């Protein structure tokens, strides 16, 4: 089955700097890659996603890139703000009968004021 | 729309007890999922369902059972609770491809924090 690895497990950046989180996946049939943000004690919420027919997608300060050949995708957050502090999860799924998401282990991002 | 609703929010169980975690969604989504999240860890898929009457095992199904008699409801049953089942449980749902513009976004409930002592 699918396996998703995520790095780093923790990331501390100064406010205003950029943050990059990387994930690799094992199943070449996977074609949907969302990123979720989870604040302490809250539910995961989708912040951005990308499909395998696209190499890059951007939404204001966040962007995701996908390299299908290498089977990895990354989340980029620019001009980080203290409210970006949270745990970020990548995930992968494929258009079989279930769209079930397999998650990475998470990255705890701390943005220092 | 209320989205995905889970009950209870918190529960303490004794070893060997059983309970059912309730999950209901009002978005008419065909796909529903149960995940567990251990402290400081990612989400692991327990069971999923692609429609009423259809369920399948995920990554960590042992010790759990599910049923899907209606589109709206997807309860998770714990039999003979064990300390290893102490976790936060999240239910999620997503639409069938084509139902919406973001046809694979998963919406999560607020979670059930379960402690087995």
pLDDT tens by residue, A55-87: 899 999 999 999 999 999 999 999 999 999 999
**A111, pLDDT greater than 50:** yes
pLDDT > 90: what percent of chain B?
79
Averaged pLDDT for residues A43-61:
91
pLDDT value for B100: 45
- Mean pLDDT (chain B, rounded): 91
Residue A83 has phi, psi (to 5 degrees) of: -75, -5
Contact flag A49-B44 (C-beta cutoff 8 Å): no
Averaged pLDDT for residues B58-67:
95
Instruction: Tell me how far apart the alpha carbons of residues A41 and A65 are, in angstroms, rounded to a whole number.
Output: 28
Determine the residue of chain A that is closest to B55 in CA distance: A98
Among B104, B105, B110, B113, the strongest candidate for a mutation testing the A interface, having the largest count of A CBs within 10 A, is: B104
Determine the residue of chain B that is closest to A47 in CA distance: B105
Higher pLDDT, B109 or B103: B109
């Amino acid at each position: 089955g699918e396996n998703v690895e995520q790095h780093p497990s923790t990331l501390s950046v100064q406010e205003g700097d950029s943050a990059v989180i990387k994930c690799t996946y094992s199943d070449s049939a996977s074609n949907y890659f969302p990123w979720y943000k989870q604040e302490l004690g809250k539910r995961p919420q989708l912040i951005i996603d990308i499909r395998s027919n696209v190499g890059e997608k951007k939404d204001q300060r966040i962007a995701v890139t996908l390299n299908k050949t290498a089977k990895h995708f990354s989340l980029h957050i620019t001009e980080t703000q203290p409210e970006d502090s949270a745990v970020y999860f990548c995930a992968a799924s494929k258009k079989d009968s279930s769209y079930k998401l397999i998650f990475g282990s998470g990255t705890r991002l701390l943005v220092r004021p | 729309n209320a989205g995905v609703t889970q009950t209870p929010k918190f529960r303490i169980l004794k070893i060997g007890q059983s309970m059912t975690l309730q999950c209901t969604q009002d978005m008419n989504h065909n796909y529903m999922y149960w995940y567990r999240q251990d402290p400081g860890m990612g989400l692991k898929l327990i069971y999923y369902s692609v429609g009423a009457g259809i369920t399948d095992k995920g990554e960590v199904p042992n010790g759990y059972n599910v049923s899907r008699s209606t589109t709206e409801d997807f309860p998770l049953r714990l039999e003979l609770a064990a300390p290893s089942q102490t976790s936060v449980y999240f239910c999620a749902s997503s639409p069938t491809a084509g139902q919406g513009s973001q046809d694979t976004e998963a919406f999560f409930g607020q979670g059930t924090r379960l402690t087995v002592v």
